[in-house]
Structure 1
Amino acid sequence: MFKRTKVCAGVLVALGGTLAATSMPTWAQTAERIEITGSRIKRVDAEGALPVTSIGRAEIEASGASSVAEFMRTIPFASTGNFRPQSGSSAQSFAEIDLRGLGSARTLVLIDGRRAAKGPMVGDAVDLNIIPMAMIERVEVLTDGASAVYGSDAIGGVVNFITRKDYQGLELMLGATKPSVKGGDRSEGSATIGIQGPKGRLIAGASFSQRDIIFANQRPWTVNRGASVYGNNYTTNDPVTGDRFNFTAIPGGCNDPNFYIVTNPTTGVSSCRYDFTAVAADEAAVRNSSVFARGEYQISDSWTGYLGASVGRVDSFGRYAPTPGLLEIAADSPQNPLPGQVVNLYHRFAAAGNRDSTTDNNYYNFNLGVQGRLFDFADVDVGVRRSDSKYYELGRNYIVRPIAEQFINDGTYDIQNPAANDPDTLNAIKATITRDARMKELEGYANATFDLFSMSGGKAQMLVGLERRTELFSDQYDSLSEAGVIEGSAGNSAGGGRTVWGAYAEALLPILKTLEATVAARYERYSDYGNDFSPKFGLKWKPLPTLSLRGSVGKGFRAPSLPILTQKTTFSAESVVDPDSCAVLNPGEDDCQVSTFTIANPALDSEKSSQFSFGGIWDATPWLSLKADYWSVKVTDVIREITAQDIVDRDNGTDPRPIPAGLGLTRAGGVITRIDSGYANEGELATSGIDISVATTFQLGGMGRVRNEVRWARVLKYEEGGFDFNGSIGQPKDRITITNDWSMGAFKAAWNVNYIGRNEYNPNSATDLRRQGGYTTHDLQFGWDTPIKGSQLNLGFVNVTEKLPSRYNFSGREFNFNLYDAYGRQAYVRYTQQF
C-alpha cells in the first residue's frame, strides 16, 4: 500500500487536483485489454496486423535526450531527419517528426490516442516542443498508414505518445549538459507526483528544458569568412557585358566592421563582401516549460472518468545577420557610381543592427471523458478535447524598402560610409515586424465496442465511432510585411476555420485460433473542400506460437491545410521569362515583371495514398526476437506550390503539363496581364522500404542482465517527378540504431549506436563535394542507485567520439540540420530523487 506523505499531499493540494487526496490510499490493478496504436479495439495481444514499435521510458532516458523532439530525431524511421529549432527561420522554435521522409504534414501525432494540435507557426504539423518529456511513459510508432482509423495525415505513419498513469510517489530530477563545441549548453528539470487510491489515481508534474544559442562563429569549421555579395556592391542590367553579375564595390564603402574586399583574379574587379558568420546565430536559444496532470476516477463499478490537461510554453531567441537589400539607384541620384544609368545596389544594412527575433508559443490542452460498460452490451468511450496554441513573433531591425530606397537616392542615407549615418536616419528606415498566429481545436468523440458473433478463433468484435472537430486558424503578419515592403522578411496572412465530421468502424475477426482479420473504414466530411473515404484490411496469422505473419493494404488521405486554404490573396510583380510579354514590357531583356496574385486555390483537394505492408515476428528463443516488415506508400494528387514561372512555361508549351485547375493567366495581345499562382494537386510520390529489428536478452548470472536491440530502416526507393532521389543529399538509404543496456543491482550502463547512411548530391559522381559519408555516433550512460534511498545518479556522453558532419550547403545552412548536429561530444549529468 502506498503511504501518502505530507509532501505528496501538500503538492497535490497545491496542484488543485480533481481527485481528493483523502480518497486515494491505493489503486487496484488488474490485467486488462489494451489499445495499441493503429487500432481502437482493445486486445490482450500487444501485436496486431500492423507494424508498431514501442519505445519505453528507460530507453528514452538512456538516449541522453532532454526533450521529446531531441529523442525523436534518433529513431531510424525518420529517414530524412526532422526539422529542429533554427535561428533566422520562420519557425525558429519549431520541432517536427517526419516519418519515411514524407513530411511532418503526412505524419500523424497522437497523445494517448487523440490528435495533438498543430503548431500555428507552420499550420500543418505538430510542434513536438509542446510535449513534456516528464509526462511520457512510452512512444508507439506505427510505420504504416492509418487514415482508416484516425483520418487525415496518417500517410507516413503515426506517433502515439503514451503518458504516465501508474506512478506513485514524488520524483524530482535535475540535469545539465555541456557540449565540447562552444554554445548549446543545456539544462533540464522536472517534478512529478503520483497518488493512487481505491477509486482513482492522479499524476501531475512540471518540467523545463533549455538550450543556449549557438553562433555561427562558434562552429569548429568557421575559420573562413562568410562571403555574401550583399555587402556594398553595384551592378548594371547590361546582359551583353555581363555587368549584371559583375559585382563592383561602392567606392570607399567597404570599411565598416565585417566588410572586406575580394578582387576577381580574372577581371581585376573588386567587390565588397560581408562576413555574416561574425554575428549570425545558427541555432536559436530555446526554453520549454510545462505543467501537466492526468487523473482517473471510478464513478461506479462500470464507469470511469478521466481527465488530462497540460499547459506548455516554448520561448526562443534567434539572431540573423543584418538585413540584406537589393535596391535600385536612379540614374540621376547623387550617390550613383555610374551617373546617367540605373544600377542595382546589393547592400547590407549593418549599421541598422542585427535582425533579432523572439518567439513565444503557449499551448493549452484539455481532455475530459468517461469510459464504461453500457447495458452490459458495449464498452463506450465518450469525451471532449480542447486545445489552443498561441504563437507570437517579434523581429527587430528590419528595413522598409521604399524608405531605404528613397533615402539612398536622395543622399539621406550615405552608402559610402554607412556606419556614420545619423541614428535618426537609421531609425527611419527600420521596422519592428510582428506575427500573431493561433490554432484552436475543439473535438467531441464517442465510440462503442461490442461483440458480434462467435467464430472459430473466438468472439468477433466491432467498434463504431463518431467525431466532430472544429478547427480555427489565424496567422496575422504586420501590415508592412503583408504588403511585401520589408527587406529580409516576407509574410502572407491567413485565417479561417472549418468543421470536420468523422464516422468510422473497425472489426476484429478471429477466423481461426491462429488467424485473425481486421477490417476498418473511415469517412470524413470537411466543410471547406469535400469528403474522403479510407478503407483498410489487415491479416495476422500465427502458424506457430512463436511466429506471427502479418500484412495490410489500405487507402489514406491528407486534407489541405488551413494556411493554404485560407491564405489571403497577395500581389507581387514577379519576374518571369516569357518572350511575347518581355518583348513589350522589357525590350531587349529575357525576363520581365508581370502582375502576379498568389491565391487560395478554390479547386484544391486532398492528397490520396495507397499503402501496403507485410512482415512477421519470430520469437525464436526466450532470448531472441526478430521482426521484419516491407512497406510501400504511393501518394497521388500531391499538394504542391505552382509558381508564376511554372504557369508561364505551361501556357507557352515549354512545360507540356497542363495548368492545374483553379490557377492560370490572362493575356491581352499576347502580353501577360495577370497570373494566378498558388497550390494545386499535381503529381505522384512513391516510396518503399524494409524495417528489421533484432532484440536479445541475456541473463549473466552474477554479472547481471544485458538487453540489445538493432533497428534498421532501409529505403528502397523514393520516386517523385520521374526521379528516384533515394541516396541523394538529405535522402540516406539507411538508418540504424543499436541499443545495449546492462543492469546489475544498483548499477546500470547503456551504449547506443546511431548510424545514418551515405547520401550525396550525385550518387554517380566521383568529384562532387556535396557528400556526407556514413555517419556513426556512440552514446554512453552510466547509472548508479546511490546509498541515499530513492536516489539515482546518471552520467553520460552523447556522441562520445565527437563526430561532426561534413560541411556543405543545405537549405542555406552549413550542413543538414535535419539529420545531424554539430554539438560535438555532449557530457551530461542527471540526478533523480524519489520519495
Structure 2
Amino acid sequence: MRQPTRLCAALAVAFGGLAAGQAFAQETKQQLERVEVTGSSIKRVAAEGALPLTIVTKEDIARTGATTVQDLVNLVPSNFGGAVANNNVGATGNASEANLRALGSKYTLVLLNGRRIANFAFGNSPVDLNSIPLAAVERVEILRDGASALYGADAVAGVINFIMRKDFQGVEIQAGLAKTANKGADGRNASIAAGFGDYDKQGFNLVLTGSYEHIDRLKAVQRPFANSGIRPELGVAQVSTRNGIPNLNFTDTRGNEYTGVNPLRYNGCNSPAFALANVGDPTQCATDYVKFIDLVPEQTRAAFSGRQIIKLNADHQLVLEYMHTRDRSQSFYSPAPYTEVVRFPFAIRPGTRFYPTAITLPKGMTLPAGYIMPNGSVLAADTVLGADMQVTPAGNLSGRWRTVAGGGRSDITETENDRFMIGANGSIGGWDYDAAVVMSKNKGEIYFGPGKFSYAKLQPLLDSGNINIFGPQDATSQALLDSALISGQRQQTAKSRSTEFDFRMSRELMATANGPWALGMGANYRQELIDQVSEPVLASGDEVGGDGAIPSVSSGRKVAGVWAETVYPVAKGFELTGAARYDKYKNDFGTSFNAFSPKASVKFQPMRELTLRGSVAKGYRAPTLYENLRPLSTSNNTASNWSDPIRCPNGVPINNTANPVEEVQDECNIQLAAGFSGNRNLKPEKSTQFALGLGFSPTPSMTFAVDYWNVDIKDPIVPKSEAQVLGSPVQNKDYIYRYDPRITDPAALGSLNNPIKGSQNPDLPIAYIYLPFENTAKTYASGVDFSAQFRFNAGEMGKFAVLYDSTLFVTHGYQYTGLAKTSDLGKFKDFGSAPRYRHAATLQWNMGKIGASLTNNYTAAYEDYTDSTLVGADYPLVRKVKANVTWDMQLTGEVMKGLGLTFGVKNLLDKDPPASRNSLYFQVGFDPTYGNPIGRQYYLNAKYSF
C-alpha cells in the first residue's frame, strides 16, 4: 500500500545477490520522507518500522542477472520450492509462483503497487509471477511476516509487493542474450521504458514500458544427469510398463496362458525408437519415458504497461495504471498411454493385419509345471528356459499400449493478463487518503499439441487391427494413426476476474512527548469470478491418456472487509502497533463465512544502533473457488503403490471371486486409480504466528538483523490423504468406490461410470479412491532469518561490500486428521522437499564506472524422496540429496555516456543439480524445485539511456 512518492533513504541489509534494504533504525543526516511501506497503512520513514521488510531496488535487480520476476523471486533465501516454469512439463497451464517459508505458494500474497492481482485462471491458483513484467518494476518489497490484519486472505507466510516505475523521465532501451554452455534454454530479451512530463513543473508524469522475452526448450536428453529414468546409482528405475510395443497377455495354440510377455524381451528390449528398456524382469520391457520430456518448456512473453500521475491541485492527484501481458509455453512429455489408470481396454484379434505369427519367449523365463511344450510334452516342474523359444499365439492379444509412434505429447498454454486501475490520493482535513478501483483479469487457453489422440477416433483403428502395436508403422498405418490426432484443437478456456474498490486513510491523531500517535483505517469490496470451460474432447474424457472427463466450472463470490491500524509511542524509543481486520465472504453457490484477523507488534530502540521488534498475529486463507468447485476427475493415480485391501490384502490376491483378481486391471502393489474433487463445505484456513527480532548497526557501514518466526496453520486445505484411506480402509470405506466389470451399461449402478461407494464385496475391483479437498489437521513451521552487510572504502582499490542473507528452519511439518504429526524438516515428504537452510552471500566491488560481484548460493542437503516399492533391494532406502551450491559472477561497466554493458555467468562452475530419486513433473534424477537443470549460462545485457 503506497503513495506515489520516492523513497529517499533506507538502510541496505543484504539478501543474497540483491543489495536489499531492510527497515530498521538508524537515522541519517538526510531529510527522510514519510511514505507507506508494505505491511503498514501509516506513513512513516521506511527505517522506522517494526516489520521485517526487505526492499530490492532496480539496481539490485540488475545485479542478479534476472530477466523475469520468477528468476528474481527464486533468489530470495526465504523462498523455497515455489512453482516454476519447469513445472509445466507433463502438466497443463501451471503458473510460476512464490513460496515464502516453504509453506506453499497459496500462503504468499503477491501485490502490484500494493493492490491485488487476479489469480491464475487455471485452477484459480495463486498469482502467476509471469504476469508481472520485470522491465516495469521499480523495486520489490518483501514482507516476511503475516499481514492478514491489513490485506486479508493469503498473507500468512508474507507479502511480495512489486512497485512499478513512476516519476521517470527519459528513455531507457535494454536488450540481452543468454547462452547455455551445454545447449538448450537459451534466451533473448528486450525492453523499452519511456517517461514523459515533470510532475512538479508540468503537473503530470507518464511512464510507458514494453518488453519481450523468449526462452528455448531444454530437452531431458540434453542433460546426462536427467536423460533417463533408469538410475542404477540411485537404486531406482522410474519407467512405465505401458509401452509402444506392449507386454502381452495371450494364450498360445497349446492352451498355455501368458501374462506380460514382451515380443522384444528376447533381444534385451533393444528398440531405441520406442525407448524400451530392460529393467531386469525376465519377461517384460518398460518405457524409459524420460527420453521424451522437457526439462524447461519453450516460453515466449510480451508485456506492455503504463502509469500516469496527474496533479489535480496541491493536495490531490489522479493515478491511472494499465498492464497487459501475454505468455505462451509449450511443454513436451511422454507419449500417451492407451489405457485408463490401471485397466486393459483393448485387444488385437487373430486375422488382423499386424497379428503376429509367432512370439518369442525369452531365455531365462520360467515356465510353470503343467506347461505344454511345442513338441507336446508336459513339464513336471517349474522350468527355466535355457534358450529363446517361439510359440504361436491364439485368440486375442491384450496389454497396455503407448502411442509412441505418434511422438511425445505436448500442450500449448496461452495466457493473457489485463489490469486497469483508476485512483486518487492526497490529503484532506488532515487525513491522507488513497482510493482506487482495480479491474484485473487473467485469461488462458490450452491447446492440444503434437502427440495428442482421441479415444473415439483411435479405438476403431485398434479394433480393426490396422495399427501396428508390434513395431514401427508403415506409411498406411502411420496415416491412419495420424488421423486420430486432435492436435491443434482447443481443450480448455479459463478466466479469473477480480474487480475491487478500496479506500484507505491515515493521520497523526496527536503529538505526544514520545512521538506522534497515528491511526489508519480502510475498507474494500471485491468481486471474484472464475469461468473454466472445457471443450467437448476434454468434457467427455476423450483424450487418450488424459485426466478423464473434466466438466466446466463457473462461479463467483463477493468479499467485503474493514480494517484499522494504530501506532502509539509508549515511551521514547518504545512503540506499539495494533491492527485488526474483519472480512465477510459470500459465495454464489450458497455458502458464506467470515474471518477476523488481529495483529500486534512492538518496536523498542534503547539506543540508535539497536532495534528490538516483535509481533503476534492471526491470519487466514480463504478456499479458492476452484477448491470449492473442482469437478470430479477419476483418471488419476495415487502417489504411492497400494494393494486393494479386500481383493489383494497385504499384496496377496484372494481366490474364489466372481471377477478374478488382476484379470481386468492391476490390483496389487500398484498406483491405484484416484478421484479428486472440490468441496463446497470447506472452511477458511486459520493461522497463528509470532516473530521476535533485532537489528544492530554498530557503524553506518555495518548492519545485522536476526528474526525468529513461528507459524501454525489450522485446517489447511489439501486432498484427503491416501495413506489415511488405505491405511484404515474399514473406517474410510466410503472413500473407496468399486464396480462390477460384468456390467456393460455405463449408466447402471455398479458400472465403472457409476460405481458403488463403500462396498465390501470382494467380487468388485476398485474403480477409484476418492480424495476430495478437505480441511485437515495442521501445518507448522518456524525458523530464523539472519542477514548482514558490511561496506568499506578501499581508496584507490575501490569500494567493497559483503552481503549475506539466510533462512534456517527450526521446525517444519504437517498433520492429517486422525494421524500423528509428520516432520518433513530436512526431508522430502508429501508436500515436497524442506531443506533446513538456505543462504546467498555476495561480494561486490565498484570503482568509478565499473563493478563486479561474486555470489554464492547455498541450499542445505535433505533426506531424499523414498518409495520402498521403487528402490532396489540392494540400495539403502534412506539417502541424502547433497547440498545445492552454485556461484554466480557479474561484470558491469559504462562504455560511454548513457550506455552500460553487463556480462555475467550463472552457475559459474557448471554444477549439475544434486541427484535425487524424485520424479516430480516426469523429470527424473533431480528435484526441479531444488536444483536448476540449465547449468552454466552466460548472459550479456546492454542498456542505453537518454
Range of TM-score over shorter length: 0.7 to 0.9
Q: Is residue 735–residue 770 contact of structure 2 (8 Å, CA) maintained in 1?
A: no
Report the 3-state secondary structure (helix = DSSP H, G, I; strand = E; otherwise coil) of the residue aligned with 1:633.
Answer: strand
Aligned twin of 2:438: 385
Q: Is residue 86–residue 295 contact of structure 2 (8 Å, CA) maintained in 1?
A: no
Aligned twin of 2:929: 818
- Tell me whether 1:498 sits opposite 2:557 in the alignment: yes
Q: Is residue 646–residue 760 contact of structure 2 (8 Å, CA) maintained in 1?
A: no
**Partners of 1:519 and 1:564 in 2: how far apart?**
32
- Tell me whether 1:58 sits opposite 2:59 in the alignment: yes
Aligned twin of 2:421: 367
| Deviation sequence 1:268-293 (CA, Å, 0-9, x none) | 42x34445454432211111211111
Report the 3-state secondary structure (helix = DSSP H, G, I; strand = E; otherwise coil) of the residue aligned with 1:258.
Answer: helix
Question: Judging changes above 3 Å, is the alpha-carbon distance between structure 1 residues 571 and 744 closer, same or farther for their aligned structure 2 residues?
Answer: closer
1:431 to 486, 489, 493: 486
Question: Judging changes above 3 Å, is the alpha-carbon distance between structure 1 residues 343 and 550 closer, same or farther for their aligned structure 2 residues?
Answer: farther
Q: Is residue 227–residue 291 contact of structure 2 (8 Å, CA) maintained in 1?
A: no
C-alpha displacement of 1:406: 4.3
Aligned twin of 1:229: 241
**Partners of 1:720 and 1:687 in 2: how far apart?**
9
**Partners of 2:785 and 2:157 in 1: how far apart?**
14
**Partners of 2:31 and 2:318 in 1: how far apart?**
17
Within a 5 Å distance, the mapping from 1:221-370 to structure 2 comes to 221=225, 228-231=240-243, 232-234=245-247, 236=249, 249=264, 258-259=273-274, 268-269=282-283, 271-326=284-339, 327-330=344-347, 335=355, 344-370=398-424
| Deviation sequence 1:204-248 (CA, Å, 0-9, x none) | 11112221111122114356687543322225599xx99767766
Aligned twin of 2:125: 124
Report the 3-state secondary structure (helix = DSSP H, G, I; strand = E; otherwise coil) of the residue aligned with 1:129.
Answer: helix
**Partners of 2:277 and 2:426 in 1: how far apart?**
75
**Partners of 2:135 and 2:635 in 1: how far apart?**
47
Report the 3-state secondary structure (helix = DSSP H, G, I; strand = E; otherwise coil) of the residue aligned with 2:840.
Answer: strand
C-alpha displacement of 1:507: 1.0
Q: Is residue 650–residue 658 contact of structure 1 (8 Å, CA) maintained in 2?
A: no
Aligned twin of 1:737: 840
- Tell me whether 1:746 sits opposite 2:849 in the alignment: yes
Deviates more, 1:628-637 or 1:642-651: 642-651
**Partners of 1:656 and 1:143 in 2: how far apart?**
42
User: TM-score normalized by structure 2?
Assistant: 0.78
**Residue type at the aligned position of 2:438:** R
| Deviation sequence 1:707-730 (CA, Å, 0-9, x none) | 221001111111213121111142
**Residue type at the aligned position of 1:185:** D
Q: Is residue 734–residue 758 contact of structure 2 (8 Å, CA) maintained in 1?
A: no
Please identify which structure carries the higher strand content: 1
C-alpha displacement of 1:402: 5.2
| Deviation sequence 1:312-344 (CA, Å, 0-9, x none) | 111112222322223434496655979678765
Question: Judging changes above 3 Å, is the alpha-carbon distance between structure 1 residues 344 and 639 closer, same or farther for their aligned structure 2 residues?
Answer: farther
User: TM-score normalized by structure 1?
Assistant: 0.87
- Tell me whether 1:551 sits opposite 2:614 in the alignment: yes
**Partners of 1:676 and 1:358 in 2: how far apart?**
30
Report the 3-state secondary structure (helix = DSSP H, G, I; strand = E; otherwise coil) of the residue aligned with 2:149.
Answer: helix
C-alpha displacement of 1:767: 4.2
Q: Is residue 178–residue 186 contact of structure 1 (8 Å, CA) maintained in 2?
A: yes
- Tell me whether 1:775 sits opposite 2:834 in the alignment: no
**Partners of 1:261 and 1:651 in 2: how far apart?**
37
Q: Is residue 234–residue 249 contact of structure 1 (8 Å, CA) maintained in 2?
A: no
**Partners of 2:445 and 2:228 in 1: how far apart?**
36
Aligned twin of 1:24: none
**Partners of 1:33 and 1:502 in 2: how far apart?**
26
Aligned twin of 1:518: 577
Unaligned runs of 5+ in 1: 1-28
C-alpha displacement of 1:595: 11
**Partners of 1:477 and 1:38 in 2: how far apart?**
39
Deviates more, 1:620-629 or 1:341-350: 341-350
C-alpha displacement of 1:793: 1.3
C-alpha displacement of 1:261: 5.8
Deviates more, 1:304-313 or 1:163-172: 163-172
Q: Is residue 80–residue 732 contact of structure 1 (8 Å, CA) maintained in 2?
A: no
Within a 5 Å distance, the mapping from 1:86-165 to structure 2 comes to 86=87, 88-91=89-92, 94-165=95-166
**Residue type at the aligned position of 2:294:** A
Question: Judging changes above 3 Å, is the alpha-carbon distance between structure 1 residues 678 and 342 closer, same or farther for their aligned structure 2 residues?
Answer: farther
Question: Judging changes above 3 Å, is the alpha-carbon distance between structure 1 residues 656 and 567 closer, same or farther for their aligned structure 2 residues?
Answer: closer
- Tell me whether 1:577 sits opposite 2:634 in the alignment: no
Q: Percent identity, aligned pairs only?
A: 28
C-alpha displacement of 1:703: 2.6
Report the 3-state secondary structure (helix = DSSP H, G, I; strand = E; otherwise coil) of the residue aligned with 1:286.
Answer: strand
Report the 3-state secondary structure (helix = DSSP H, G, I; strand = E; otherwise coil) of the residue aligned with 1:579.
Answer: coil
Q: CA RMSD in A?
A: 3.5
**Residue type at the aligned position of 1:706:** F
Question: Judging changes above 3 Å, is the alpha-carbon distance between structure 1 residues 243 and 625 closer, same or farther for their aligned structure 2 residues?
Answer: farther
Within a 5 Å distance, the mapping from 1:589-608 to structure 2 comes to 591=667, 599-608=677-686
| Deviation sequence 1:11-32 (CA, Å, 0-9, x none) | xxxxxxxxxxxxxxxxxx9953
Aligned twin of 1:756: 859
**Partners of 2:406 and 2:90 in 1: how far apart?**
20
- Tell me whether 1:187 sits opposite 2:188 in the alignment: yes
Q: Is residue 85–residue 94 contact of structure 1 (8 Å, CA) maintained in 2?
A: no
Aligned twin of 1:636: 714
**Partners of 2:289 and 2:602 in 1: how far apart?**
57
Aligned twin of 1:210: 214
2:808 to 667, 691, 714: 714
**Residue type at the aligned position of 1:565:** N
**Partners of 1:413 and 1:762 in 2: how far apart?**
39
C-alpha displacement of 1:704: 2.5
**Partners of 2:637 and 2:705 in 1: how far apart?**
53
2:516 to 446, 459, 467: 459
Aligned twin of 1:41: 42
Deviates more, 1:227-236 or 1:811-820: 227-236
Q: Is residue 882–residue 915 contact of structure 2 (8 Å, CA) maintained in 1?
A: no
Aligned twin of 1:17: none
Within a 5 Å distance, the mapping from 1:481-496 to structure 2 comes to 481-490=538-547, 492=550, 493-496=552-555
C-alpha displacement of 1:54: 1.4
| Deviation sequence 1:658-710 (CA, Å, 0-9, x none) | 99xxxx98457868999865111112111110000111111222332222210
Deviates more, 1:292-301 or 1:405-414: 405-414
Report the 3-state secondary structure (helix = DSSP H, G, I; strand = E; otherwise coil) of the residue aligned with 1:431.
Answer: coil
Q: Is residue 250–residue 416 contact of structure 1 (8 Å, CA) maintained in 2?
A: no
**Partners of 2:734 and 2:538 in 1: how far apart?**
35
1:509 to 548, 563, 568: 568
**Partners of 1:651 and 1:53 in 2: how far apart?**
49
Unaligned runs of 5+ in 2: 1-29, 231-238, 360-391, 649-653, 738-754, 816-820
C-alpha displacement of 1:546: 1.3
**Residue type at the aligned position of 1:612:** F
**Partners of 2:310 and 2:463 in 1: how far apart?**
72
- Tell me whether 1:413 sits opposite 2:467 in the alignment: yes
| Deviation sequence 1:408-463 (CA, Å, 0-9, x none) | 34423232245125345213433235121111111111112133344442222111
Report the 3-state secondary structure (helix = DSSP H, G, I; strand = E; otherwise coil) of the residue aligned with 1:640.
Answer: strand
Q: Is residue 495–residue 563 contact of structure 1 (8 Å, CA) maintained in 2?
A: no
| Deviation sequence 1:342-377 (CA, Å, 0-9, x none) | 765222212223323222111111111001222x23
Residue-pair matches, total: 796
**Partners of 1:67 and 1:598 in 2: how far apart?**
33
**Residue type at the aligned position of 2:851:** K
- Tell me whether 1:723 sits opposite 2:723 in the alignment: no
**Partners of 2:914 and 2:94 in 1: how far apart?**
25
**Residue type at the aligned position of 1:328:** P
**Partners of 2:519 and 2:407 in 1: how far apart?**
64
Question: Judging changes above 3 Å, is the alpha-carbon distance between structure 1 residues 585 and 457 closer, same or farther for their aligned structure 2 residues?
Answer: farther
Deviates more, 1:30-39 or 1:379-388: 30-39
